Amino acid sequence: MIMREREVVIGHRLGLHARAAAKLVELSSKFQASIVLFRADPTNPAEADARSILSILLLSAGYGSKVGVRASGVDEEQAVESICEYLAG
Amino acid sequence: MTNERVIHGVVGSVGFAVGRAVRTFDPLFVSFNLKLRPDRVRKEIDRFRQSVEKSREQLKRMQAELRRASGRESSFLIDAHLLVLEDRLFVDRIIEKIETDSINSEWAIQQVSDDLFQAYDRLDDEYLRERRGDLEDIVRRLRHNLGSTPLPPFKKLPYDAILIGKIIPPSTLFELRAQRVVGLATETGSPLSHTAIMARSLEIPAVMGVAALPEVSSGDLLIVDGDRGVVICSPSEETQAEYKSRDRGRRIKKRAGASASAPSVTEDGASVSLGANINFSEEVRSAIACGCESIGLYRTEFDFFREGRQPDEESLVADYSLVLKTAKGAPVTFRTIDVGIDQKGWDGVNPNLGVRGLRFCLENAHVFKKQLRSLYRASVNGRMRILLPFVSTVDDLDAACEIIMDVRRELDLKRQRYDPRVPVGVMIETPAAAQTCDLMASRVDFFCLGTNDLIQYYLVIDRSDQSVVHLYNPFHPAILRCLHQVYALLGPTGKSVTVCGEMAADPPSAAVLLGLGFTSLSVNLGAYARIKRMIRSVSMKQLRELAGEILKMQKPKEVEDKVRATVYRS
């Protein structure tokens, strides 16, 4: 299976809080690809569905933390691109 | 192998219970596990979807209004709520649960949200942790739109339930008492909160102030041990077996205790009047069956607000008449509604220092009058006494007496029958009343001493505040002096005093009351047998000497040690 993956440092001052998470869901919903956010930290790994606000909030990604974005589907390239751009702030 | 865990709290109500946890998420909404017939599952999913749809419409409307009022900025929180309603982690999982477990929507919502709440509570980020409030909001809205009524429309739960929650208001406990609620544990609260008092009078084991309670989910197997003040999560087979064997032993003991209806007379022949405190009209029957000579305190507010709204006068008259008839000639002291305490809100304002008791009644004269009319109309059915709670000034008392006279004049005009000799009394529970009870004496027929509030106000301790509750001490010299003073002030007036606080229900402190001259006590039914045993085992002469000695002491600990040594001398 083809998929895109990239890492990005969260640039929002409050991390992925309610407003940022809501915007992220909105943005992710524009793409057809399935999009997953993940924390690569081997001691505390976690994944979140970029279209689920609850799972994004529970990923608890704070300001300056590093998350991975993985997408798979027809528009995966644009999806990873624009989501990373958004997360970088 | 189980992951048995013991979490600590404080004793709220003795006894123990084994059951499944049911989280009371919102005071008004407690959901229970209903097993659906297979053919009902589709309909239930539709019901849930409709509630989601309705919630979405409400939120959209709210969002539009917010935008008009304050622009785009503040409406983003509603965005988050709306997204939760579309979230597959939430909505899809609930539907899946309804389907696979054949359960009602309320219970499915509860289980899914419980998991999420726990996940939130584990977060390191405090800001994000706080966001669980948004989810709570959504759950509340969904429940509301499901049309959940506060009382589930069924009689029996399919299993024994242990209510858990941050706060469980006494009203909730009361509403559910006929269901299979066998125990209760709360995150906050103390043994002196009204929830604990209610649990004791319903004989439901309770542990309060269990800080680690959020770790428990609805459906978990629990043991609430109200004797040790602990909650055991996922108990092992051995632990369960151990508790079950204790269960048998206890029932036998209880039967033996109930049969001991010997007179309450001290070893040296002094007789003590021992009454029962009740919260619900249904308790009168068991109080009389236990051999209680009187109902020393009937806290009427629980029955008054039973259906969550005010009853009509006719049903109150019927209820009060039934109470008097059931008491079979034993006097019943009806305390008029005392609201404003923990039955109401917890919005940060200390209701204990606000409009409660008589203050509430005077501000809501129509409610007060309705209750008084009902009481007087019922009075011909037995021996009634009317007690006014939370009196703090002679002015308030005069105003209350004036309202009582109004009510009686009204009844006279309507030629309605009532007992004109119904004694009216004052509850001494504020320092102001303790200091001025002699001034009130000429206006009333009797007094009751509410030691719980009196101690809380004297020692400046909020009964629901965990950080100070250990300072609450009936053996504090300030309390002893206060009681001594009340006795001295009321002695010359010849008016009777009955002590009906928790102090009367604990053998050592009850012994102090006897020694200080208070020979009329009224206690919860649960404490009745043990206080009677205490009375029958002590000598009044010795207790008087004891009172003289402890009045000279300086520290609560000294007093307590001395009292315990005397009461448990053998």
CB contact under 8 A, A54 and B135: yes
Q: Which residues of chain B are within 8 Å of residue A22 when distances are taken between CB atoms?
A: 76, 79-80, 83
Tell whether A53 is within 8 A of chain B (Cβ): yes
Tell whether A25 is within 8 A of chain B (Cβ): yes
Instruction: Delimit the CATH 3.20.20.60 region(s) of chain B.
Output: 262-567
CA-CA distance, B512 to B10, in Å (whole number)?
Answer: 24
Of B79, B116, B124, Cβ closest to residue A54: B116
Q: Is the ipTM of this complex over 0.85?
A: no
How many distinct helices (H) and strands (E) make up chain B? 22, 17
Of A19, A57, A60, Cβ closest to residue B76: A19
CB contact under 8 A, B79 and A22: yes
Tell whether A64 is within 8 A of chain B (Cβ): no
Q: Which residues contact A53 (CB under 8 A, 6 or more apart)?
A: A18, A21, A22, A25, B80, B83, B84, B87
Please tell me the predicted confidence (pLDDT) of residue B528.
86
| Residue A4 C-alpha, separation from nearest chain B C-alpha, in angstroms | 23
CA-CA distance, B40 to B99, in Å (whole number)?
Answer: 10
CB contact under 8 A, B76 and A18: yes
Q: Are B316 and B371 in contact (CB under 8 A)?
A: yes
The number of angstroms, rounded, from the C-alpha of B321 to the middle of its chain's C-alpha atoms is 24
Please tell me the predicted confidence (pLDDT) of residue B301.
84
Q: Are B275 and B327 in contact (CB under 8 A)?
A: no
For the record, the structure tokens of B452 come out as 């719980």
Of B84, B87, B128, Cβ closest to residue A17: B128
Least CA distance to A52: which residue of chain B?
B87
Please tell me the predicted confidence (pLDDT) of residue B569.
65
Domain count, chain A: 1
Q: Are A14 and A86 in contact (CB under 8 A)?
A: no
Select B34-109+130-147's CATH number: 2.30.31.70, 1.10.274.10, 1.10.10.10, 3.90.580.10: 1.10.274.10
Claim: this prediction has a pTM higher than 0.80: no
CB contact under 8 A, B84 and A22: no
Name beta bridge partners: A68: A7, A38
CB contact under 8 A, B87 and A52: yes
| Residue A28 C-alpha, separation from nearest chain B C-alpha, in angstroms | 12
Please tell me the predicted confidence (pLDDT) of residue B553.
96
Q: Which is the CATH superfamily of the domain at B1-31+148-259?
A: Phosphohistidine domain (3.50.30.10)
Range of the domain at A21: 4-88
CA-CA distance, B537 to B570, in Å (whole number)?
Answer: 10
For the record, the structure tokens of B262 come out as 């010997």
Identify the three-state secondary structure at position B425. strand
Name beta bridge partners: B206: B13, B184
Instruction: Delimit the CATH 1.10.274.10 region(s) of chain B.
Output: 34-109+130-147
CB contact under 8 A, B80 and A21: yes
Chain B positions touching chain A (beta carbons under 8 Å):
76-77, 79-80, 83-84, 87-90, 116, 119-120, 123-125, 127-128, 131, 134-135
CB contact under 8 A, B90 and A22: no
Identify the three-state secondary structure at position B447. strand
CA-CA distance, B392 to B373, in Å (whole number)?
Answer: 24
Please tell me the predicted confidence (pLDDT) of residue B25.
57
What residues in chain B have per-residue pLDDT under 50?
1, 27-28, 149-155, 249, 252-253, 255-256, 258-259, 341-348, 570
Supply the CATH number for residue A15's domain.
3.30.1340.10
Asked: is B262-567 a CATH 3.30.43.10 domain? The reply is no
What CA–CA distances, in Å, run from B561 to A70, B82, B315, B370, B553?
69, 61, 50, 48, 11
CA-CA distance, B67 to B112, in Å (whole number)?
Answer: 31
Please tell me the predicted confidence (pLDDT) of residue B259.
43
Identify the three-state secondary structure at position B170. helix
Q: What's the one-letter identity of residue B299?
A: R
Of A22, A52, A60, Cβ closest to residue B89: A52
CA atoms in the 13 A half-sphere facing the CB of B378: 27
Give the largest Cα separation in chain B, rounded.
80
Please tell me the predicted confidence (pLDDT) of residue B27.
43
Task: Give catalytic status of residue A17 as yes or no.
Answer: yes
Q: Are B17 and B180 in contact (CB under 8 A)?
A: no
CA-CA distance, B423 to B539, in Å (whole number)?
Answer: 32
Q: Are B46 and B223 in contact (CB under 8 A)?
A: no
CA-CA distance, B520 to B535, in Å (whole number)?
Answer: 11
Tell whether A54 is within 8 A of chain B (Cβ): yes
DSSP-H helix ranges across B379-472: 394-413, 431-441, 451-458
For the record, the structure tokens of B86 come out as 């579309």
Give the residue, B467 or A1, on which the prediction is more confident: B467
For the record, the structure tokens of B342 come out as 């923990």
Question: Strands (DSSP E) along A16-83, which ranges?
Answer: 34-39, 46-49, 66-72
CA-CA distance, B289 to B322, in Å (whole number)?
Answer: 16
Q: To which residue do tokens 């003590």 refer?
A: B272
For the record, the structure tokens of B254 come out as 């209880």
- Radius of gyration in angstroms for the set of CA atoms belonging to chain B, rounded to a whole number: 26
CA geometry: angle at A73 spanning A69 and A76, to 5°? 45
DSSP code, position B405: H
Please tell me the predicted confidence (pLDDT) of residue B349.
54
CB contact under 8 A, A14 and B127: yes
Strands B16-26 and B221-225: antiparallel
Q: From the candidates B81, B194, B233, B476, give the one annotated as an active-site residue.
A: B194
pLDDT in tens, A6-60: 888 888 776 777 678 888 998 999 999 999 999 877 777 788 999 988 888 888 7
| Residue A70 C-alpha, separation from nearest chain B C-alpha, in angstroms | 19
Task: Give catalytic status of residue B194 as yes or no.
Answer: yes
Q: Which residues contact A16 (CB under 8 A, 6 or more apart)?
A: A10, A24, A56, A57, A59, A60, A61, A62, A87
| Residue B171 C-alpha, separation from nearest chain A C-alpha, in angstroms | 33
What CA–CA distances, in Å, run from B218 to B39, B222, B293?
26, 10, 43
DSSP code, position B265: B
Identify the three-state secondary structure at position A30. coil
Instruction: Delimit the CATH 3.50.30.10 region(s) of chain B.
Output: 1-31+148-259
* A41, A52, A63, best to mutate vs chain B, most B CBs in 10 Å: A52
Average pLDDT value for residue range A59-73:
87
CB contact under 8 A, A15 and B125: yes
Q: Are B154 and B34 in contact (CB under 8 A)?
A: yes
